[in-house]
Structure 1
């Protein structure tokens, strides 16, 4: 009996050590807090895999617990007026200064797009609610937080189309007048998958001949920008990093496009490209677009091209992989030249680091005014860790620096 108790204790200790241990570099701040936070994410991910393998629930449905756990009810207070609205059939939350402007001064506006790999997340999560309120008070701005539909129930391009419809609706002159918005002081912003959508809609708006009001700025927070090469140096270096390991990011990409598990396996092996997408690999050639310091010892080799017998949907996936609405990094230089000024935040310990770095390089080469904020001790999702119990100092610094840039450039 005693030996059984000792065995149980040892097993529990081993499991705890496994869940807590992460290969976290020493220069990441508050390492133990990150280890504890990541142990929850890892436990939930293992539970999600188990539920999917035994046929109870699919992986992303279990992972949605993160969204539910962080959910709040955004309500007005003495400084911020909060309303639930519907913009062309899409649910949004509008945050605006509570007091009216007696001088008649027009306000800034930011359309904010939440992260979560197009599968998770909500503008009703506590960190997004806190960020929106902070922007309202610091910038005297109207914030439109978009509840776009999620995968796997809705695949690309639904998420993009939801956001684009909101943008087109909001940028109509009558709507801007109703919210007292200066049409020359509007930005779009988002983190992670939201950064992807922000970059994509910015490009699309610039090409739309019917769009008269254009954005002044785009602010992209550790954005995901390309699906063609999932083995860049940052994907290799940070494949086991907390919060967003490579396996989870690849799952997000796969679910964004399709529920076909064969495509997930191909993406995991980085063998998902086809002749149509391979022709665009020149735009994600990190040997050309990454500064030397970030290439480290990694040697570039182009991802292999999918053969005709690969078990994926050959009719739709080639088109989706090559679609710049999914991978904004794939557009030619001519498209980049007309884009508004940009703020791009990247973190050293993030699989998406190189996506952001390559976009910074390409935007600058095209003559776009870019502010690049790189955090050498940063990790993916840090900006959202600003509420108890996942309250990180680096998250607050990111928020303050980001809002300061908006104050100076919008």
Structure 2
């Protein structure tokens, strides 16, 4: 090899190492695996930015590659019967235990809502398929995995409404009988944006005076709970952390509501609140609802309020971010008191950590029985990293602990 070739190879190696390396806290296990995983996500994000800038394809259209890459065809196996159906017009994948001859016992049921920032993800992705099968086997349960429509093609409240329709349909006595489900043992669960939808659905069902069948438990996994303050201590501490940097989470929120880039820029600056939404900031006051151990070195200051329009109907956007169906943390205490028993999972290295912690605190203060499981070495999305090549031990631990809690409480 010539000296010139050697220096070229050395330069390429140095650039690769510089690009791959990310300062990841020592407390996180399998740090290099996370660096490599994050390198893939960052590269795809850069490509998506370039594609949108040049007008080839919008950002989320490129990021959907993640969904397509992990997509599987849900199929029955020796233990689980799988069917793709429609509940009130919404696509679902239903997982059921294969029935032994003469079995008549009613089963548990879990309605599961996938994550992906309301813009990405699918119930048909490998990790969700694996989780559903594990729940069927370990809980002897029926699992309904919901394929709700996604933003930015379908803005809020379409994804929420899809999920609510599925839940209402499934909770009909004749439908439960069709799947041999015990009406008193039904859970709703979801991760990230799916946790947001699960919390919102739980609240709305409790307020429906005509709803006869109630949910027994809700399991919220690093949920997104509010869009009013995007500068909580966890947003600040973890703004550059894999797998969900602050910029991406703010982009998810923005795309959920509107395709107007002015609103995204306002959310990035945390200046997107109007007088209407500012009236609800008392429910997101992390100096009151966040235990001191999570506040760290950060001091509370309320987000600013502006009357400036975004060009996309500011009244509509103000109403949307203040809507508890989008931000479940915003409901008053009285609306929390009758909610089902809750499991809330949070991760230390996650911009959404404080959302989940504050909701767990508010539920507890309202008299709801809450199990808050905080992973001091956890990072966002870890529960879905359970398959090669992104197979993390903490993801398996989270899955085992979630299922164990459901075994004991559902």
Task: Please indicate, yes or no, whether the TM-score normalized by the shorter chain is above 0.5.
Answer: yes
Kindly indicate whether residue 325 of structure 2 is the aligned counterpart of residue 325 of structure 1.
Answer: yes
**Count of matched residue positions in the alignment of Structure 1 and Structure 2:** 410
For structure 1, which runs of at least 5 residues remain unmatched after alignment?
none
Instruction: Name the structure 1 match of 2:364.
Output: 364
| Distance in structure 2 (CA, Å) of the matches to 1:328 and 1:185 | 23
Residue of structure 2 in register with 1:237 after alignment: 237
- Asked if residue 246 in structure 1 is aligned to residue 246 in structure 2, the reply is yes
Give the C-alpha shift of residue 273 in structure 1: 0.5
Gap change, CA 1:298 and 1:138, over 3 Å in 2: same
The equivalent of 1:313 in structure 2 is 313
CA contact (8 A) 1:115 1:121 kept: yes
Q: Deviations over 1:33-90 (max 9, x none)?
A: 1111111001100110011111111000000000011011110001000000110000
CA deviation after TM superposition for structure 1 residue 176, in Å: 0.2
Residue 104 of structure 1 deviates from its aligned partner by 1.4
Deviates more, 1:92-101 or 1:26-35: 92-101
> How many Å apart are 1:16 and its aligned residue?
1.6
Give the distance between the partners of 2:339 and 2:101, measured in 1 at CA. 31
Q: CA deviation at 1:141?
A: 0.1
**Deviation for aligned residue 1:21:** 1.5
Q: Distance in 2 between the 1:7 and 1:230 partners?
A: 45
Aligned residue for 1:186, secondary structure, equals strand
* Structure 2 SS opposite 1:190: strand
SS in 2 for 1:344: strand
Residues 28-67 of structure 1: matches in 2 within 5 Å? 28-67=28-67
Aligned to 2:174: 174
Within 5 A, what are the aligned runs for 1:159-238? 159-238=159-238
Task: Kindly provide the CA deviation profile for residues 256-282 of structure 1, in whole angstroms up to 9, marking residues without a partner as x.
Answer: 000000000001111100000000000
Q: Cα offset for 1:15? A: 3.6
CA contact (8 A) 2:260 2:311 kept: no
Q: Which runs of 4+ in 1 moved over 2 A?
A: 1-15, 100-103, 307-313
Question: Which deviations, in whole Å up to 9, do the C-alpha atoms of 1:250-306 show, x marking residues without a partner?
Answer: 000000000000000001111100000000000000000111111001000000002
* TM-score between the two structures when normalised by the length of structure 2: 0.98
Cα drift, residue 315 of structure 1: 2.8
Aligned residue in 2 for 1:145: 145
Return the alpha-carbon distance in structure 2 between the equivalents of residues 67 and 42 of structure 1. Answer: 15
Query: How far off its partner does 1:22 sit?
Result: 1.4
Deviation at 1:169, TM superposition (A): 0.4
Stretch moving more, 15-24 or 29-38: 15-24
SS in structure 2 of the partner of residue 77 of structure 1: coil
Gaps of 5+ in 2: none
Does the CA contact (< 8 Å) of 1:91 and 1:147 recur in 2?
yes
- Matched residue SS, 2:315: coil
Shift of 1:4: 6.8
Greater mean alpha carbon deviation, residues 350-359 or residues 94-103: 94-103
CA contact (8 A) 1:23 1:240 kept: no
Relative distance call for 1:87 and 1:13 in structure 2 (3 A) is: same
Residue 137 of structure 1 and its aligned partner are, at CA, apart by 0.3
1:79 corresponds in structure 2 to 79
C-alpha distance in structure 1 between counterparts of 2:139 and 2:373, whole Å: 20
TM-score by length of 1: 0.98
Distance (Å, rounded) in 1 between the aligned partners of 2:142 and 2:156:
28
Task: Give 2:96's aligned residue.
Answer: 96
Q: Determine the structure 2 residue equivalent to 1:278.
A: 278
Q: Once structures 1 and 2 are overlaid, which stretch shifts more, 15-24 or 192-201?
A: 15-24
Instruction: Tell me the secondary structure at the aligned position of residue 300 of structure 1.
Output: coil
Rounded to whole Å, the distance in 2 between the matches of 1:28 and 1:101 is 47
Aligned to 1:266: 266
- Alignment partner, residue 374 of structure 1: 374
Asked if 1 retains the 8 angstrom alpha-carbon contact of 2:258 and 2:312, the reply is no
